[in-house]
Amino acid sequence: MSQAPTSASRDAVRNTVPYMIEMTEKVLFGDIWERPNLSKRDRSLIVCATLLATYRPEQLRGHLQRALDNGVTKDEISEMITHLAFYAGWPASMSAANIAKDIFAANP
């Protein structure tokens, strides 16, 4: 079981919820994300779709970056956002589009 590197968002609350962060790093990223039946690319697409649909913009930002790092293309992210506009709602997709615009700009 591997452990995910720390992140600024987790580090920001590590002293407030240390056990939650420990579980995030050891179980979620160290175990669940490492299971072999889905690729990290597919997991990223699923997580981004879920975060968009449940309107979690703070978490979406980091996971869109992770999705790019895991091989999801900008075109695929754009298509996911467009597709979900009809299932999760236009406002959620527009918010996600603005976040994606910033992430894309940082990843030319």
Give the whole-angstrom CA distance, residue 87 versus residue 65. Answer: 23
| Mean pLDDT for the chain overall | 93
Q: Residue 102 has what pLDDT?
A: 97
Structural domains of the chain sorted by starting position, each given as residue range(s) with its CATH number in brackets: 1-37 (no CATH), 39-108 (1.20.1290.10)
Choose among 23, 4, 14, 11: nearest CA to 69. Answer: 4
Burial of 40 (0-12, 13-18, 19+ CB in 10 A): middle
Q: Residue 6 has what pLDDT?
A: 57
Q: Is the pTM of this model over 0.85?
A: yes
Q: Residue 5 has what pLDDT?
A: 55
Give the whole-angstrom CA distance, residue 71 versus residue 101. Answer: 17
Tens digit of each residue's pLDDT (9 = 90 or more) over 46-86: 999 999 999 999 999 999 999 999 999 999 999 999 999 99
How many degrees, rounded to 5, is the angle at CA 8 between CA 6 and CA 13? 90
